Amino acid sequence: MATKRDYYEVLGVSRNASKEDIRAAFRKLAMQYHPDRVPAEKKKEAEERFKEISEAYAVLSDDQKRAQYDQFGHEGIGARYSYEDIFRGADFTSIFEDLGFGTSIFEEIFGDFGFFGTGRRSSRRTGRGRDLQFDLEISFEEAARGTTKTLVVPRYEVCSTCRGEGTKPGTKKVECSRCRGTGQIKVAQGFFTLTTTCASCQGEGYRIQTPCPTCRGQGREKVERRIEVKVPPGVDTGAHLRLSGEGEAGPTGVRGDLYIVIYVKPHPLFERHDDDIYLELPVSFVTACLGGEVEVPTLNGNVKMKIPPGTQSGKVFRIRGKGFPRLHSAGQGDELVRVIVEVPTALTAEQKKLLRDFAVTLDEASLPLTRSFQEKLRHLFK
């Protein structure tokens, strides 16, 4: 599968470009690559380029989609939006009217999604259900290993009594007498004829005389559903999981999607950076001086780690493969252990005497950091 190019690169704008800059860049490229403006032999190539710049514009002209893209890239857009959702709400119509083009090109290239503002009549009966969003909090360990959660999601579904018809069982819808089933009213004004949505039936073309007692004529009812969600290993806070068709049902039963937004609880010991985890490990003064072996906690239990003699506080050791699984590729991150040399407190008189006697025996060779610092001072104030 070909790797998608960066949207900003596609439009030739900087990452801090304003909406006007993005709009102007799209207008310019649309003029250049509109399939109706190129020779026949280049039409296929122009269509592919036109798709690319249209998708980039649809994302970057929308504040919410742009923020998602800036944070998570193409994977963030793909996880949260369907291909149709990417284009929904984007203003193509006014741009192409300004350029003297029609919007029919979108139907030819993208298919008839019905969200480019072409002026066709739309009815709520043909509508897709609403997308839902659910915030899911999981533990640090669950994010590392993956987990399965059962959510209770309240949503609208097709009415179980009338099967979405909106009428009481045994009764039927009646054709609207005002628009005669068309859902539209034509009004003549001089030389012009205006077409408006029928106010009597709200564009449906029919009326319900005896509503369903369960849904009150809406064709949908509110229910709670238990939905099992599989959270893959390696997710992080802000990740979006898309469950296609688990949103609300539209008037004809077509469902929206359910988006799960992940929140990972902080851990008392570990801190995550990308796929690596960081740990601060206290080590005794004696172990740091003489070296030794210490136990280090990881996400999969304790492991042994060697501390070389003379280890300084702040030294970082890497334990490979003990971090988070990589979400979109093979392998795992590492665990980075930062050693903190613990200075003993509340010493006895005897311990203090031993330390003083020990300090007398020290020379510059035993204190490399002090020696390096003194040399820098001497060079600084020569």
Same domain, 131 and 236: yes
Q: What's the rounded mean pLDDT across residues 22-26?
A: 90
Question: Alpha-carbon distance 168 to 62, whole Å?
Answer: 43
Same domain, 149 and 111: no
Cα–Cα distances in angstroms (integers) from residue 105 to residues 46, 61, 110, 120, 371, in the given order: 12, 20, 8, 15, 74
Going by pLDDT thresholds of 50, 70 and 90, the confidence category of residue 199 is confident
Residue whose C-alpha is closest to residue 233's, from 305, 105, 165, 329: 329
User: Which of 231, 265, 299 is at the close of a domain?
Assistant: 265
Question: Alpha-carbon distance 382 to 376, whole Å?
Answer: 10
Return the higher-pLDDT residue of 252 and 107: 252
Mean pLDDT rounded to a whole number for the chain: 83
Tokens representing residue 375 in the block: 């040399």
Same domain, 311 and 225: no
Question: Alpha-carbon distance 326 to 320, whole Å?
Answer: 13
Tokens representing residue 21 in the block: 């800059």
In a domain, 89, yes or no: yes
Domain extent for 65: 7-119
Tokens representing residue 118 in the block: 């072409």
Phi and psi (nearest 5°) for 151?
-105, 145
The DSSP result for 79-118, as a single string, is: HH--HHHHHTT---HHHHHHHT--SHHHHHHH---S-S--
Same domain, 308 and 352: yes
User: Which of 265, 298, 327 is at the close of a domain?
Assistant: 265
Q: Tell me: the pLDDT tens digits for 49-73? A: 888 998 999 899 988 889 888 888 8
CA max distance for the chain: 111
CATH number at residue 238: 2.60.260.20
Same domain, 111 and 232: no
Q: Write down the pLDDT at residue 188.
A: 63
Going by pLDDT thresholds of 50, 70 and 90, the confidence category of residue 94 is low
The total domain count for the chain is 3
In a domain, 300, yes or no: yes
